[in-house]
Amino acid sequence: MSLDSARALIAYHAVRIHQLRDLKLTDFHDGKLHHAGQTILLAVPVRERLRDYLDLRSAAWPTTINPHLSVNVRSWTHTRPVHESWTREQLGMPCQQIRLDRNFSEAQETGGDLRTLADLFGLSIARAARYAAAIDRIPSTIAKGTGPPA
């Protein structure tokens, strides 16, 4: 998977690193990600990056038998996913922190709207409620990104 499309999936939709690794080509259709019982409506920039990556993937490995979205020089000849460490190395950043920041940021932006959080990130209502509850427990200056009170 290209760095742009992987980062977009994490930054927009808070996809987990193991999900990135396990995604298959058939998980994307109708502008949505369908994976592990979740359906996530993909943001337009994510769809564009995925489309660009799929064009690149087809050109680089036109005869690959690998059904996974991510392929590399070692995985294109078999059907197993790329190694999780390869995905981490490609990102060059901690995926978990980006995910948490993204979920928390969206909870702030939506005022803790549970349905929006659940739909955007494929979260359960209970998990979305945790993010929504967290925004009520921080000082407003930190929530707005202005830092701790002086």
Instruction: Return the half-sphere exposure (C-beta side, CA atoms, 13 A cut-off) of residue 132.
Output: 16
Through-space distance between the first and last CA atoms of the chain, rounded to whole angstroms: 44
* 146 pLDDT more than 60: no
Query: For residue 149, what pLDDT band results from cuts at 50, 70 and 90?
Result: very low
* 144 pLDDT more than 70: no
User: Residue 1 has what pLDDT?
Assistant: 64
User: Both tokens of residue 129?
Assistant: 């409620």
pLDDT in tens, 26-79: 999 999 999 888 888 898 999 999 999 999 999 999 999 999 998 988 899 999
Q: Which residues of 1-39 are buried (b: 16+ CB within 10 A; e: fewer)?
A: bbebbbbbbbbbbbbebebbbbbeeebbeeeebebeebe
Query: For residue 8, what pLDDT band results from cuts at 50, 70 and 90?
Result: confident
pLDDT in tens, 94-116: 777 788 888 888 899 999 999 99
User: Residue 139 has what pLDDT?
Assistant: 56
User: Residue 142 has what pLDDT?
Assistant: 46
User: Residue 141 has what pLDDT?
Assistant: 44
The count of residues in the chain is 150
In a 3-state reduction of DSSP, which class is residue 139? coil
Q: How far apart are the C-alpha atoms of 54 and 9, rounded to whole Å?
A: 14
Q: How far apart are the C-alpha atoms of 46 and 145, rounded to whole Å?
A: 25
User: Residue 7 has what pLDDT?
Assistant: 80
* 92 pLDDT more than 80: no
Query: For residue 148, what pLDDT band results from cuts at 50, 70 and 90?
Result: very low
User: Residue 119 has what pLDDT?
Assistant: 82
Number of Cβ atoms within 10 Å of the Cβ of 120: 20
Strand 32-35 with 38-41, pairing: antiparallel
Handedness of CA 133, 138, 144, 147 (dihedral sign): negative
In a 3-state reduction of DSSP, which class is residue 68? strand
